[in-house]
Amino acid sequence: MMNANGRPTRAEESSRSANDDVSTFTGNAALDIEEPLIFEIGRTEATGVDLPEPAAVAPRLGKHARRAPLSLPGLTEPETMRHYVRLSRQNYAIDLGVYPLGSCTMKHNPRLNEKMARLPGFADVHPLQPAQTSEGAVALMAELSHWLMELTGMAAVALSPKAGAHGELCGMMAIKAALSARGETRSKVLVPESAHGTNPATAALLGYKVEAIPAREDGTVDVEAVKARLDSDVAAIMLTNPNTCGLFERDVAEIAEAVHAVGAYFYGDGANFNAIMGKVRPGDLGIDAMHINLHKTFSTPHGGGGPGAGPVVLSERLAPFAPLPYLRLEDGKPVLVEHASDTEDGAKPFGRMCAFHGQMGMYVRALSYMMSHGADGLRQAAEDAVLSANYLKARLGDVMTVAYPERPAMHEVLFKDDFLDETGVTTLDFAKAMIDEGFHPMTMYFPLVVHGAMLVEPTESESRANLDLFVATLRDLAMAASRGDTGRFKAAPRHAPRRRLDETGAARHPVLRWTKPEPRPIEPVEAAE
């Protein structure tokens, strides 16, 4: 059936399906263009940067001058543009569609943030230029600190950690320093089984023995199990709240009390703070230290894997141990304290997390987001995130298996793979089929406490129409699985830039860099008898 303009109106009249078997000369498929490596298309001498002839001077490199030329491929500007634009088109992105990665919080990244971070007054300022020429930068850090402390109800903030795991390390170091200042060395850290892998890794890095706490039937931490493990050898508990099952730990205050009663500290993993901002303050729950992922809660872009930023808020008890540099008010003006020798009475910074002052570019973006939303908007964002997750839970609960149906979800909802039992379809297959439908899969196989976990976090950034299409798609997939339509899953993804990749081969024979191909051996001439 053709419409008046002569375009096909029905799917089967388009030549798409017939085309699947036809290969093109180039291997490309219209807008899907294969792109070689820079090492295969670049030339050492090609360049996209016009540089002046270096002045003729007597070099002062001494005997250290480079002997061999640098063998790196170059491209001119138009070639560079095309290479990276083509590569970019092989990525999924929040700007393209729903990206419901549980515990990763893929929310909209406002472009105002990007514009503000690029103001020369922020982007073109050196961390060690004289203080009187960078007062605005320090003032911005002070303003961000105020927002973070007010939102969390905590006494101090260490801004410099460069990512969530780095923030964890910072918070746990503050705890270790505080114990050591009391003349104590404790050896154990309690971590629930559902925790992010960074929690035990951080505790182990600091020499602590990790003790796992089992979860209750309803997915939350058993306060009695915590109490049974608490003694004077426990340095801290590391607890994510809302936890990685998407549930609020409702006994958190009682846990905090028990932890404090044995002289231990309460580390809060703030990865999921986006669910509760403006609703409850971690400081009011008895938390002593908590990192905040600016790239999750406060919309700084994930950038394909960083950079992140993980400021740590600290309670009154831990505030003196905050690392260098930290902010101090002098005559009402914030200044950076960069050395232990400059600290006032009482401050005992445990050390330094990184060179300079942390992720300024992320501070600007996060503050831009906070100011745009305001206290009211942040609270609304948390409510919308929680509302959206519970909406998915309600609309999908009859066809997928909600792991913990009895408690309200917070910002994310956890499914387990019971609904796929006997179908021959695995969580992985299900996720890959979502790719063909134009969605990014949810977080898979995490947390480890349920079988075949699927952790879905819609965030506050999805419209009702997007949520409904997502629901309809997942319902369709779940029903396809239950009626045995495995073909749709096992071969998925079919429409992505690549089919499933051989991860076993990649790990057995790691190829981690390009190397020049060996020249093909010359065919030996057959020797005459």
Partner 1 sequence: MRYLPLTDADRADMLAAIGVGAIDDLFVDIPADKRVDGTLDLPSHRSELAVEAALKRLAAKNVPADTVPFFVGAGAYKHHVPSTVDHLIQRSEFLTSYTPYQPEVSQGTLQVLFEFQTQVAELTGMEVANASMYDGSTAAAEAVLMANRVTKRRKAIVAGGVHPHYRDVIKTVVGMADDELVCMEPDPAGTEYIAAEIDEDTACIVVQSPSFFGHLLDLKPLAEAAHAKGALLVAVFTEVVALAAIEPPGAQGADIVVGEGQSLGNPLTFGGPYVGLFATRQKFLRQMPGRLCGETVDADGKRGYVLTLSTREQHIRRDKATSNICTNSGLCALAFSIHATLLGGTGLMRLAAVNHAQTVKLVERLESVRGVEVLTDTFFNEITLRVDRNAAALVDDLAEHGVLAGVPVSRLLPGTEFDDLLILAVTECVSDDDIKALCTALSEAL
Partner 2 sequence: MVKRFTQDHEWLDIDGHVATVGITNYAQIQLGDVVFVELPEVGKTLAKGDEAAVVESVKAASEVYAPVSGEVIEVNTALPDAPDMVNKEPEEGGWFVKIRFEDEAEVANLMDETGYQTFLDTL
Binding footprint of partner 2 on the chain (CB under 8 A)? 445, 503-504, 507-508
Instruction: Give the C-alpha separation, 278 to 259, whole Å.
Output: 25
> Which residues are CB-contacts of 527 (< 8 A; sequence separation ≥ 6)?
none
Contacts 24+ apart (CB under 8 A), 343-348: 346/320, 347/320, 347/322, 348/177, 348/181, 348/320, 348/321
d(CA 20, CA 29): 10
Determine, following the binding rule CB under 8 A, whether residue 95 of this chain makes contact with partner 1: yes
Q: Does 219 bind partner 1 (CB under 8 A)?
A: no
Q: How far apart are alpha carbons 171 and 166 in whole angstroms?
A: 9
Give the one residue of 103, 145, 198, 240 binding partner 1; rule: CB under 8 A: 198
Q: How far apart are the first and last CA of the chain?
A: 72
Stretch that binds partner 1, among 14-22, 111-119, 418-426, 480-488 (CB under 8 A): 111-119
Tell me the residue type at 4.
Answer: A
| Binds partner 1 (CB under 8 A): choice among 380, 473, 482, 486 | 380
Pick 15 or 129: Cβ nearer partner 1: 129
Q: Which does 453 bind (CB under 5 to 8 A by kind): partner 2, partner 1, none?
A: none
Closest by CA position to 362, among listed 129, 168, 141: 141
- Of residues 415 and 446, the one with the C-beta less far from partner 2: 446
Residue 484 CB, nearest distance to partner 1 (Å)? 22
H or E segment and range at residue 415? strand 413-416
Please, what is the minimum distance in Å from the beta carbon of residue 447 to partner 2?
15
* 418 in contact with partner 1 (CB under 8 A): no
Return the range that interacts with partner 1 (CB under 8 A); candidates 227-235, 312-320, 386-394, 476-484.
386-394
- Per CB under 8 A, does 488 bind partner 1? no
**Residues 526, 529: Cα–Cα separation, whole Å:** 9
Report the site for partner 1 in 2-21 (rule: CB under 8 A).
none
Nearest-approach distance from CB 526 to partner 1, in angstroms: 33
Q: Contacting partner 1 (CB under 8 A), which of 98, 101, 396, 477?
A: 101
Closer residue to partner 1 in complex, CB, 143/233:
143
CB 381 within 8 A of CB 373: yes
- Tell me which of 463, 518, 524, 525 binds partner 1, using CB under 8 A: 463
Under DSSP, is residue 352 helix (H, G, I), strand (E, B) or coil?
Answer: strand
Query: Using CB under 8 A, which residues numbered 321 to 340 contact partner 1?
Result: 323-324, 338-339
